[in-house]
Amino acid sequence: MKRSPTPTRFGTLAGDAELHVWPGGFHAFDIFAPHTVLAQGMIRTRNAWVEKILVD
| Res 16: pLDDT | 73
Q: How many CB atoms within 10 Å of residue 46?
A: 13
pLDDT digits (tens, 9 = 90+) for 26-42: 999 999 999 999 999 99
Whole domain around residue 41: which residue ranges? 21-55
Cα-trace Rg, the chain: 16
pTM above 0.85, yes or no: no
48: left (phi over 0), alpha (psi -120 to 50) or beta: alpha
Say how many domains are in the chain: 1
Residue 38 located in a structural domain: yes
Considering the domain boundaries, does residue 32 fall inside one? yes
Phi, psi of 22 (to 5 degrees): -105, 100
Residue at 10 is within a domain: no
In a domain, 25, yes or no: yes
Buried b (16+ CB within 10 A) or exposed e, 2-12: eeeeeeeeeee
